Amino acid sequence: MLIDEFGFPPERVKVLQGGFPGWQRAGYPIEMTVAVEPKGKRFILWGQIKSKNRR
């Protein structure tokens, strides 16, 4: 759903599926918590992830 409906790149979806440890292994420092809020049949994803290239 994230790839088809929201255009997320597949590699980011793999990181999201890995949870917080997956994010850290991929080199994305977690600046804030991530919240997933159901809204009808869709989910809205919030998160502020600082790219490892921006350090």
pTM over 0.75: no
Tokens, residue 18? 């890995």
pLDDT value at residue 46? 41
φ, ψ of residue 45 in degrees (nearest 5): -110, 125
pLDDT value at residue 40? 44
Distance from C-alpha of 34 to C-alpha of 40, rounded to nearest angstrom? 19
For the chain, 55 residues long, give each residue's pLDDT as a single digit of tens.
555 666 666 666 666 666 667 667 777 666 545 544 455 444 444 444 444 444 4
DSSP 10-28: HHHHHHHHTHHHHHHHTT-
pLDDT value at residue 25? 74
Question: Measuring CA to CA, how many Å separate 5 from each of 8, 9, 16, 32, 51?
Answer: 8, 11, 16, 24, 23
